Amino acid sequence: MRNNQRRTDPAKQNARRMLNLKRLGEVFAMIAIAGAGLTTGWWMNDKMSVTQWQVEGEPVLQQAIRSKLEAMPVKDFISTRPDMLSAQWLNEMPDLARVDVSRVLPNSLHVRAHARVPVALWQNAKSQLFLFDESGLAYRMLNKGESPDLPLLRVDEQQLAAAHQLLAALQQQDVMSLNSISEVRAGSSYWQVYFSKGVTWTLPFGAESTAIKQLASLLKQPRWTNRNWQVDARSSDRWFIRPAKHGGVI
């Protein structure tokens, strides 16, 4: 009786077995490499933990950043990535305009803090006072006990960008010092700028820069340099200039 069952070639069987063993070996090798990598990574992450730091900048910001670093429960390599620390501190400290963080291997941080520069105070509709910086941002409410000598902006929130442009234009003229501005108010179609010594400038919306340049040029002329003036420049063809207890039209 003929046996129709196909016999397996021993050589092919052995080759298949060797191939399976090779694949299994590769799997175990990958697992071993991954495990070694994780172990090494964990060891490196721990060994490169931050233990010291150098912080530069305004004293108040220096102290705030040092306190935050000291309060961190974990200071390993991952937890002290410069980009992560920068984003976190900028979000938490409104007085911080920019912060440069760099790692100094193996275990140090170098931090350079740049403070915002307030140029005015802004009073909102609720009479709350905010610090207003040189970039045109009302960045935080005034703290209790703070009393900076800065111009006061009495304008609506939607007028802050225009008020920032007004301050920039006023800074470019050399007749009245920006430090002498006490208050800026927004009327229905004009700005009212109050300086020290009773000086006021009334300027039209949308034409502030032109009016300021013309006004600065006018007040440099000998006729106008010997007094303090109140100037209404809302009209493009006629200004009202009034010294103390006197008035005139040009």
Per-residue H/E/C for the chain: CCCCCCCCCHHHHHHHHHHHHHHHHHHHHHHHHHHHHHHHHHHHHHHCCCCEEEEECCHHHHHHHHHHHHHCCCCCCCCCCHHHHHHHHHHHCCCEEEEEEEEECCCEEEEEEEECCEEEEEECCCCCEEEEECCCCEEEECCCCCCCCCCEEECCHHHHHHHHHHHHHHHHCCCCCHHHEEEEEECCCEEEEEEHHHCEEEEECCCHHHHHHHHHHHHCCHHHCCCCEEEECCCCCCCEEEECCCCCEC
How many folded domains does the chain comprise?
2
Mean pLDDT of 208-223: 92
Q: Give the domain extent around 86.
A: 52-115
For Cα atoms 30, 46, 86, give the angle at the middle one, nearest 5 degrees: 110
pLDDT at 7: 59
Q: Is residue 28 part of a domain?
A: no
Distance CA 134, CA 125 (A): 22
pLDDT at 177: 85
Q: Is the predicted pLDDT of residue 193 greater than 50, yes or no? A: yes
Q: Do 124 and 233 have their domain in common?
A: yes
Q: Is residue 182 part of a domain?
A: yes
Q: Do 78 and 195 have their domain in common?
A: no
Q: Do 110 and 122 have their domain in common?
A: no
Q: Is the predicted pLDDT of residue 35 greater than 80, yes or no? A: no
Q: Do 95 and 189 have their domain in common?
A: no
Q: Is the predicted pLDDT of residue 247 greater than 90, yes or no? A: no
Q: Do 76 and 151 have their domain in common?
A: no
pTM reported for the whole predicted model: 0.75
Q: Do 150 and 106 have their domain in common?
A: no
CATH number of 56's domain? 3.10.20
pLDDT band at 246, cuts 50/70/90? very low
Beta bridge partners of 204: 190
Q: Is residue 232 part of a domain?
A: yes
pLDDT at 50: 87
pLDDT tens digit sequence for 113-144: 999 999 999 999 999 999 999 999 999 999 99
pLDDT tens digit sequence for 51-107: 899 999 999 999 999 999 999 998 888 889 999 999 999 999 999 999 999 998 888
pLDDT at 243: 86
Q: Is the predicted pLDDT of residue 28 greater than 70, yes or no? A: no
pLDDT band at 36, cuts 50/70/90? very low
Q: Do 68 and 100 have their domain in common?
A: yes
Q: Percent of the chain having pLDDT more than 90?
A: 62
Q: Do 100 and 200 have their domain in common?
A: no
Q: Is residue 202 part of a domain?
A: yes
pLDDT at 78: 86
Q: Do 183 and 137 have their domain in common?
A: yes
pLDDT tens digit sequence for 170-182: 999 888 888 899 9
Q: Do 146 and 181 have their domain in common?
A: yes
